[in-house]
């Protein structure tokens, strides 16, 4: 516990969000809980929260440096982040560079087909309706976002994809696909929120295509946290590793 934490605002599947003294900021706690299959598979894995917080903070800093607005302010603990408070848009924006997973089950893509331009997909973040896939007209009719806002979300997501794909490829990983969420800040800007971590991406070794992400857990295999630790070691620089006691 830190003294910054106040009232719990929201608890999700792997994170808690707390109020802080400043109404414009929240504290996001990354927990060690991991879930898959619409909450049907659950576990608690020591250090998972810290590794995701470290990886997500690093990605958000890189994206900020490239001019993308993000929620990230600072990490105050290995698993606690101070972030801009946002009015979240209930969309899961999925960006895919390689055809795998459900794309192969639902459509006639070849296994590992390169998707250029990347495939973008919008899911409605809604537990009652089990996150159905949306299209532009449904998003606009439900007043989730306007056509202009959707266009902006597409552009930002493609830029995130380019920046992170390059950063990861230089470190031996392929960004196969990922999910991002956005919100509005108090000035009405569209800002990247939530997290980008091995929980929300597929990361493959560029040579062997071995997974370094939550697919290990989805498949019921061992070594989830060890894989996340590999990612921490690949993305953090020496100074950051020293600061957070990463070997």
Binding residues for ligand TYD (CB under 6 A): 92, 94, 101-103, 123, 177-179, 200-202
CA distance 141 to 179: 23
Q: How, if at all, do strands 114-124 and 91-98 pair?
A: antiparallel
H/E segment holding residue 60: helix 48-65
Closest residue (Cβ) to ligand TYD? 101
In angstroms, give the least distance from the CB of 135 to ligand TYD.
Answer: 16
SS3 245: coil
Query: Given the complex with ligand TYD, which of 84 and 214 has the nearer CB atom?
Result: 214
Measured distance CA(201)–CA(177) in Å, rounded: 6
C-beta closer to ligand TYD: residue 1 or 128: 128
Q: What are phi and psi of 81, to 5 degrees?
A: -120, 135
Which CB sits closer to ligand TYD, 159 or 241? Answer: 159
The residue (of 48 and 202) whose beta carbon lies closer to ligand TYD is 202
Residue 102: CB minimum distance to ligand TYD, A: 3
3-state SS assignment for residue 123: strand
Query: Which lies closer to ligand TYD via its Cβ, residue 29 or residue 92?
Result: 92
Q: How far apart are CA 155 and CA 128, in angstroms?
A: 29
Residue 61 CA to residue 164 CA, distance in Å, equals 11
CA gap 38, 123 in Å, rounded? 13
């Amino acid at each position: 516990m830190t003294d910054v934490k106040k009232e719990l605002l929201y608890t999700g599947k792997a994170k808690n969000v707390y109020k802080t003294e400043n109404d414009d900021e929240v504290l996001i706690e990354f927990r060690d809980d991991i879930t898959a299959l619409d909450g049907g598979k659950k576990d608690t894995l020591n250090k998972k929260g810290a590794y995701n917080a470290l990886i997500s903070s690093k990605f958000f800093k890189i994206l900020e440096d490239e001019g993308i607005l993000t929620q990230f302010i600072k990490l105050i603990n290995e698993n606690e982040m101070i972030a801009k408070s946002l009015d979240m848009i209930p969309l899961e924006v999925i960006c895919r560079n390689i055809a795998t997973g459900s794309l192969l089950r639902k459509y006639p893509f070849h296994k590992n087909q390169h998707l250029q331009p990347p495939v973008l997909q919008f899911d409605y973040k809604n537990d009652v309706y089990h996150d159905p896939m949306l299209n532009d007209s449904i998003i606009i009719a439900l007043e989730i976002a306007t056509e202009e806002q959707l266009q902006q979300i597409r552009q930002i997501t493609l830029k995130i994809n380019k920046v992170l794909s390059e950063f990861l490829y230089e470190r031996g990983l392929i960004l196969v696909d990922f999910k991002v969420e956005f919100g509005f800040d108090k000035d009405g800007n569209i800002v990247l929120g939530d997290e980008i971590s091995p929980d929300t991406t597929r990361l493959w070794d560029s040579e062997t295509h071995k997974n370094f992400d939550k697919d290990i857990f989805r498949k019921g295999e061992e070594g989830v946290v060890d894989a996340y630790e590999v990612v921490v070691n690949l993305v953090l620089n020496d100074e950051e590793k020293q600061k957070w006691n990463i070997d």
